Amino acid sequence: MTAYKIMFYLFAAMIIVFSILTVTSRRILRAAVFLLFVLISTAGLYFWLDYQFMAGVQLALYAGGIVVLIIFSILLTSHIDQKFSQPHWSKRIMAATAALSGMALCLLLFLQHTFIVGTNPPIKNDMTNIGTQLLSTEHNGFALPFEVISILLLAAMIAAIIIAKKGK
Amino acid sequence: MERYGIPLEGFLVISTAMFFIGIYGFLVRKNLITMLMSIELILNSVNINFVAFNSYLFPENMQGNFFALIVVAIAAAEASVAIALIINIYRRFSSIEVEDIDEMKY
């Protein structure tokens, strides 16, 4: 049992336990904080895989941005000391059946499949390579999706302002 | 191939569990913000898959990394628009429970 294995199992357990708590917690602010823990453990998994930039983006954008946005809107729209009523048991059983059967199907499919592992030498996953490929128009370049995503973000920003501003 | 004793399937099991926990939450919850949280769980589980496949199966490329980056950006845009909609709905209906929102037009 190496330290790497222990770290992996720790992150895995945190992700699954806090995901379950996110969807079952009866206080909305607690659900948001559990979601924050899930996102931070996911960033831990990216660090484990040696994807530092991805982990940094995960921490800054998800854990820092989206969770703050969600907590902000919770404070605007909900009474935080109010507890949700427990959903009806038949609804819970139906949803759990749907989720568990889907999960069983997926597990069955990919545990039977043998993945062909890449044998090529790994590319160095540092900022230089990421920056060069993200803005390159050559083979393996990602300039077009980069520009499209910037237009999408601008459109989403304008849309959010227009929707949320007080009418007339 | 295993990395530090963990096969690719370890990551796939985690992301599958997270995905279907998100589906369960989306089906059970009635509050719009908690439903949005379930959607975030689903998007996040897909990102784990992209990065794990990139790292284990195609280590000579960075496609998975960029896909995951773009999914994160789209998730941020989606969350901001969804929260603007939720705040607007709260202003009109004074509630964000899906059962109270049954009118489409004033």
Q: Is residue B47 part of a domain?
A: yes
Angle subtended by helix axes B8-28 and A3-24, to nearest 10? 10
Residue at B52 is within a domain: yes
Q: Give residue B76's domain range.
A: 2-100
> Would the CB atoms of B21 and A99 count as touching at under 8 Å?
yes
Total count of domains within chain B: 1
Across the interface, do B61 and A84 touch by the CB < 8 Å criterion?
Answer: no
Q: Regarding the domain delimited by A1-83, which CATH topology (the fold level of the hierarchy) does it fall under?
A: Four Helix Bundle (Hemerythrin (Met), subunit A) (1.20.120)
Rounded to whole angstroms, the Cα distance separating B88 from A159 reads: 12
Q: Where are the domains of chain A?
A: 1-83, 123-168
Residue of B nearest to A133 (CA): B62
pLDDT tens string B46-58: 999 999 998 888 8
CA–CA distance, A123 with A49 (Å, rounded to integer): 13
Task: Report the gap between the CA of B96 and the closest CA in chain A (Å).
Answer: 7
Is B27's CB within 8 Å of A153's CB? no
Contact B41 A35 (CB under 8 A): yes
Query: Measured at the alpha carbon of residue A149, what is the angle toward residues B45 and B25, in degrees to the nearest 5?
Result: 30
CA torsion sign for A105, A108, A110, A112 is: negative
A59 in contact with chain B, both atoms CB, cutoff 8 A: no
pTM of the model: 0.89
Write A10-15 long-range contacts (CB < 8 A, 24+).
A11/A41, A11/A42, A11/A44, A11/A45, A11/A48, A12/B10, A12/B14, A14/A38, A14/A41, A14/A44, A15/A41, A15/A42, A15/A45, A15/B14, A15/B17, A15/B18
Q: Decide if A147 touches B, using CB distance below 8 A.
A: no
User: CATH number of the domain that B65 lies in?
Assistant: 1.10.287.3510
**With an 8 Å Cβ cutoff, is B98 touching chain A?**
no
Handedness of CA B94, A30, B14, A44 (dihedral sign): positive
Query: Within 10 Å of residue B82's Cβ, how many Cβ atoms?
Result: 21
Binary contact (A163, B80; C-beta < 8 A): no
Position B106 in a domain: no
Tens place of pLDDT for every residue, chain A, 168 residues?
788 889 899 999 999 999 999 998 888 889 999 999 999 999 999 999 888 888 999 999 888 889 998 998 888 887 777 777 777 888 889 999 999 999 999 999 988 888 887 777 777 778 888 888 888 888 878 888 889 999 999 999 998 888 888 765
Supply A106's token pair.
């997926």
Question: A118: closest CA among B64, B9, B6, B56?
Answer: B56
Cα dihedral A94, A98, A101, A104, rounded to 10, equals: -130
